[in-house]
Amino acid sequence: MTQSTPANRLRDVRSRIARAAAIAGRDSASICLLAVSKTCSADAVAALAACGQLDFGENYVQEGVGKIAALRTRHPRLRWHFIGPLQSNKTREVAAQFDWVHSVDRLHVAQRLSAQRPVERDGHVLAPLQICLQVNVSGEASKSGVPPQALEDLARAVGALPNLRLRGLMCIPAPNEDIQAQRAPFAQLHSLMEALNRQGFALDTLSMGMSADLEAAVLEGATIVRVGTALFGARSTAVGREKT
Ligand SMILES: *Cc1c(COP(=O)(O)O)cnc(C)c1O
């Protein structure tokens, strides 16, 4: 039996992505693996970074900002994605420390992120904050996400904000064991992005798929898959919770 090391788990997840991409006739280089490190230690992130992993996702503001502070100097090239529920009183730290936010579903939060995005950090000019709108597709597990009928108006308003760059859409469907059932909400998110692009948007990002359904997401066009458990092992649900 192969030992479960960070390097082995990373290789396994990458080969799952590559197999699904091959079936879909897609180049696996067009799919970004986002390692979801919520509840994991900064050391666990550093171990995966040492294997070449660059993109990390965090769900809780305080926990994420702590890890970024612990790792920024030694690992300045890491890209940090905020993927959890975001309340308006926490936007300032997210705007200052993260590179991406996947979970925007309200204009008010986007306006604050844009207003609070600093011009520079550590003497380097900062790129705009990269944004995905979280959509409440059919079968969504949580109550968050903009309803599809309200998506176009939100996208227009967010797309006009100066310090954000609207990149695409994100969803978190309810878990389902059946791959055909897994594919349906991902296909829906993909058509919503295409419909926006026909209205003049130039979106290029579909953030969808997790440990249990990343193949279905890749088959439906995911460009970012968000994987936690398959890379870091099972999380204890009691650990790492904080009010957001
Ligand atoms: C925790 C989480 C993930 C990763 O889930 P796994 O099933 O552990 O791969 C992906 N996306 C979001 C938004 C999450 O909260």
The CATH number that applies at residue 197 is 3.20.20.10
Contacts with 53 (C-beta within 8 Å, 6 or more apart), sequence order: 10, 33, 35, 231
CA distance 77 to 70: 14
Contacts with 56 (C-beta within 8 Å, 6 or more apart), sequence order: 34, 35, 36, 37, 45, 48, 49, 67, 78, 79, 80, 81
Residue 138 vs residue 75, higher pLDDT: 75
The model's pLDDT over 154-208, given as tens digits with 9 standing for 90+, comes to 999 999 999 999 999 999 999 999 999 999 999 999 999 999 999 999 999 999 9
Contacts with 104 (C-beta within 8 Å, 6 or more apart), sequence order: 86, 110, 113, 131, 132, 133, 134, 158
Whose C-alpha lies nearest to ligand 1, atom 11? 226
φ, ψ of residue 142 in degrees (nearest 5):
-105, 180
The atom of ligand 1 lying closest to the CA of 34 is 10
The atom of ligand 1 lying closest to the CA of 231 is 9
Residue 177 within any structural domain of the chain: yes
Q: What separation in Å is there between the alpha carbon of 24 and the centre of ligand 1? A: 23
Residue 60 within any structural domain of the chain: yes
Residue 238 within any structural domain of the chain: no
CA distance 76 to 6: 20
Asked whether the beta carbons of 89 and 61 are under 8 A apart, the reply is: no
The model's pLDDT over 66-85, given as tens digits with 9 standing for 90+, comes to 999 999 999 999 999 999 99
Range of the domain at 118: 6-232
pLDDT band, very low/low/confident/very high, at 214 (cuts 50, 70, 90): very high
The model's pLDDT over 141-157, given as tens digits with 9 standing for 90+, comes to 677 999 999 999 999 99
Number of domains in the chain: 1
Residue 242 within any structural domain of the chain: no
φ, ψ of residue 163 in degrees (nearest 5):
-105, 15
Task: Sort 94 into a burial class: Cβ within 10 Å, 0-12 / 13-18 / 19+.
Answer: buried
Residue 240 within any structural domain of the chain: no
Residue 78 within any structural domain of the chain: yes
Probe target for ligand 1 pocket from 56, 60, 83, 86, with the most ligand atoms within 8 Å of CB: 83
Residue 159 within any structural domain of the chain: yes
Q: What separation in Å is there between the alpha carbon of 232 and the centre of ligand 1? A: 11
CA torsion, points 195, 204, 126, 163, in degrees to nearest 10? 0
Token readout for 140 is 């969504």
Residue 51 has pLDDT above 70, yes or no: yes
Q: What separation in Å is there between the alpha carbon of 122 and the centre of ligand 1? A: 30
Probe target for ligand 1 pocket from 17, 36, 232, 242, with the most ligand atoms within 8 Å of CB: 36
Of 129, 132, 124, nearest to 112 by C-alpha is 129
Of 230, 220, 175, 217, nearest to 53 by C-alpha is 230
